[in-house]
Amino acid sequence: MIPKLLQNIPDPPAELFVKGSLSDDFKIAVVGTRKSTSEGRLIARTIAAELAKAKITIVSGLALGIDTASHEGCLEAKGKTIAVLGTGIDNIYPKENKPLAERILAKGGAIVSEYPGDTPGYKENFLRRNRIISGLCEAIVVVEAPIRSGSISTANFAAEQGREVFVIPGPINHPNYAGSHKLIRDGARLVASAKDILEDLGIEVLDRAADLDDSEKTIVEAVRVRALPIDKIMEITKLEPSKALPAIAGLVLKKIIRESDEGYVLNQ
């Protein structure tokens, strides 16, 4: 099944082949050049890890460079990550990242493609897959994008789809940031950390050491990035009504969550 966010883009895929689990979690893409610097890879790894700790699923393209660092950073933080392929679902590319793809699936993430079986990696397919990377997400983060870069096309797709585009700036004379700086001039948001991204998206990361019992903590994690009605909270948390209902009431009284038209959400 194609997720609703992806269904609503201008050119949605006719089919989506999926290995693993495409959850309803809030998703952010972290993308950038294959020919990345060590500093860029460290930035991508760090941002992906910090977003994953905020219970955000990280989406990227499984390419070498920034994509690989993004997937790895998320996994290191025990988060879920989704790799969108420009090849068939059974044709992992590049082959060096086959072990990474296996780790993604083992840790509850997903491998996704609009192409079946062993479809080869045609150049135009990689460009088209970028609309799926952005289309699955609420926002994208660009790390190290030269003027000619697949991540620029992802950012352009994101803008067309109404997604937020965040860009990490770099040295003004470094060719790996020429495209990044153009995106900022064209209206993308300059950010320097995961904290900036979370603040701009209005996502508050609560202190996990707060005085909450186990049921309350479980519910807070469930509603951290999306409004959920009571039945969905119980489905996701697997809490019995006898535990879920008092915990929800307690969190409302503590002003940690509130009821909205769509369900319960964190207080900002």
Q: 16-55: per-residue pLDDT in tens?
A: 999 998 888 899 999 999 999 999 999 999 999 999 988 8
pLDDT of the residue at 167 = 98
Separation of alpha carbons 180 and 85, rounded Å: 23
pLDDT of the residue at 149 = 87
- Structure pTM? 0.78
| Residue 148 shares a structural domain with residue 188 | yes
Local confidence band at 265 (pLDDT 50, 70, 90 cut-offs): confident
pLDDT above 70 (res 210): no
- Whether residue 119 lies inside any domain: the answer is yes
| Residue 192 shares a structural domain with residue 218 | no
| Residue 23 shares a structural domain with residue 120 | yes
Average pLDDT of the chain? 91
- Of 42, 44, 52, residue with least CA distance to 81: 52
- Whether residue 207 lies inside any domain: the answer is no
pLDDT of the residue at 268 = 59
pLDDT above 80 (res 91): yes
Into how many domains does the chain fold?
A: 2
Token couple for 233: 């909270």
Tell me the β-bridge partners of 113.
17
Q: Which domain holds residue 50?
A: 4-200
| Residue 125 shares a structural domain with residue 221 | no
Tell me the β-bridge partners of 142.
31, 167
Token couple for 40: 């860029």
| Residue 196 shares a structural domain with residue 220 | no
- Whether residue 209 lies inside any domain: the answer is no
Of 173, 200, 227, the position where a domain reaches its end is 200
- SS3 of the chain: helix, strand, coil, percent, to 5: 45, 15, 40
Q: 145-202: per-residue pLDDT in tens?
A: 999 888 999 999 999 999 999 999 999 999 999 999 999 999 999 999 998 999 999 8
| Residue 242 shares a structural domain with residue 118 | no
Separation of alpha carbons 220 and 208, rounded Å: 9
pLDDT above 80 (res 205): no
